[in-house]
Amino acid sequence: MNEPRLKDIFEALIEVVSKLDIDETLTLLADHTRSLTRSRYAAIGVLDPEHEHQLLDFVTSGIDSRERELIGKPPSGDGLLGTVITSRSAVISNSIADDKRAIGFPPNHPTMKHFLGVPIITGERVFGNIYVTDRLDDQPFDQIDVAILETLATGASAVIGNLLLRQALMRAQVEDDRTRIARDLHDDIIQRLFAVGLQLQAALPSLQRTDGARFVRQAIEDLDAAIGEIRTTIFELEASRGDSPRAEILDLTSRLCMIAGLREHVVFSGPIDTLLTNSTKSLALTVLRELITNVIKHADANELRVEIQVSDNLKILVVDDGIGISDDPHIGHGIVNLHAKATDHGGSFSIAAGPLGGSRATFIVPL
């Protein structure tokens, strides 16, 4: 596995961890899986908690809505899909048509030749499985593809476990239950991040380029830092209740900074939970996600400060201690989007060098 693909995996996990909705997370994970393995099709199968060998949901990538309608009922978890469920390990088939474990395809289903599936394990149970079929170069899946899928599955298990426990936390009414769930959240994320770090370490011997090895070592250091920062994050999570704007902003910031190993400081000013409507809260989260992701990808920063101010306006300020305004052409699209969002809402967006280095981004819209 070379440096660019490892970097793509790391950036995909950063994007996936930023989502708050589990359906949105699974859709994005399926799309990234298909892209990273260079496959024609990908899917996430979610197991029924009450019937662990049956699929409750099936999220696809590469098949459009019209094709899904023609295919009809989603699979229940038999054949090769069921083999992944029962084996709890990677399953490869180089000829689905000739594989005795396969049960064939329903009418109107695309023809598929090659198959690879790995489980997503959250805690002690299998949450579901990631499947890909048919590489774009028509070659069978190899051990590099297995490594990519297993790394994605390990990262996904942390994200999904986080979301499931967060949902349970929001429903909990008794303080003892909240404390227990928060502890489980703490332990599970540390375990999953540690597993990702081990997988990246295992990839080191296969890298031929020195800079590739350096990238993986840096990723491992970032994960180690994230494990240390989770202890701070968990206190904020225990202090938050419900899905208030303040709680969701803290949650988004801590999760993004955690996966990248950034130290974060969040400051609120004004009646955030009172004045932010659902639409304004959604805008704030979208803008904040874009700003923090830009810092993670381009700034080479160690520390991030977020200020959310509410009065007649909503003001979002993000300051980092990184390398300053980047000349990277890939950062341009995100900045253009932020300018457009601010203009659409009658506001403004600016980004400039910080007073002590790094960058300072300011997004302001009227309330």
Residues 330-349 pLDDT 10s? 455 678 889 989 999 999 99
Classified as helix, coil or strand, 101 is coil
pLDDT of 41 strictly over 90: yes
For residue 303, what are the CA distances in angstroms to 12, 114, 256, 296, 300?
Answer: 21, 45, 12, 10, 10
Is 7 within the bounds of a domain? yes
My answer on whether 201 and 282 are in the same domain is: no
232 within domain boundaries: no
Asked whether the predicted pLDDT for residue 232 surpasses 50, the reply is no
Instruction: Classify residue 301: in a domain, yes or no.
Output: yes
- Write down the pTM of the prediction: 0.52
* Domain endpoint, select from 187, 210, 233: 210
Same domain, 194 and 323: no
72 and 140 in a common domain: yes
In a domain, 238, yes or no: no
Instruction: Answer whether residue 235 is part of any domain.
Output: no
Of 10-19, 133-142, 150-159, give the range with the top mean pLDDT. 133-142
Q: What is the pLDDT of residue 205?
A: 66
Does the pLDDT value for residue 358 go beyond 50?
Answer: yes
Confidence grade of residue 285 (pLDDT, cut at 50, 70, 90): very high
Tell me: pLDDT of 79 over 50: yes
The residue out of 210, 230, 245 marking a domain boundary is: 210
Q: How many residues does the chain have?
A: 367
Cβ-contact 75, 95 below 8 angstroms: no
d(CA 237, CA 250): 8
| Residue 54, SS3 per DSSP | strand
Between 206 and 231, residue with greater pLDDT: 206
The per-residue pLDDT for 268 is: 86
**Same domain (yes/no): 193, 267:** no
Q: What is the pLDDT of residue 350?
A: 93
pLDDT tens track for 306-339: 999 998 899 999 999 888 876 554 455 678 889 9
33 lies in the same domain as 171: yes
Say if residue 23 is in the same domain as residue 99: yes
- Tell me the C-alpha to C-alpha distance, in Å, between residue 267 and each of 161, 301, 357: 27, 19, 20
Query: What's the pLDDT at 139?
Result: 94
Has residue 244 been placed in a domain?
no
What pLDDT does 213 receive?
A: 59
Answer yes or no: do 196 and 282 share one domain.
no
Structural domain includes residue 40: yes
Strand (E) or helix (H) holding 154: helix 143-171
The helix (run of H) or strand (run of E) holding residue 253 is helix 245-260
Phi and psi dihedrals of 170, rounded to 5? Answer: -70, -30
Q: What is the pLDDT of residues 159-189, one digit of tens each?
A: 777 766 666 665 554 455 555 555 555 555 6
Tell me if 289 sits within 8 A of 28, measured CB to CB. no
| pLDDT on residue 45 | 87
Number of structural domains (the chain) is 2
d(CA 310, CA 343) in angstroms, rounded, equals 18
pLDDT for the residue numbered 40: 95
Rounded to an integer, what distance in angstroms lies between the CA atom of residue 145 and that of residue 135?
10
Domain that holds residue 361: 262-366
Torsion of CA 130, 133, 139, 140, to 10 degrees: 60
Residue 366 phi, psi (nearest 5): -75, 150
User: Alpha carbon of 8 to those of 75, 78, 192, 233, 332: distances in Å?
Assistant: 30, 32, 19, 26, 19
57 and 206 inside one domain: yes
- Three-state DSSP at 237 gives helix
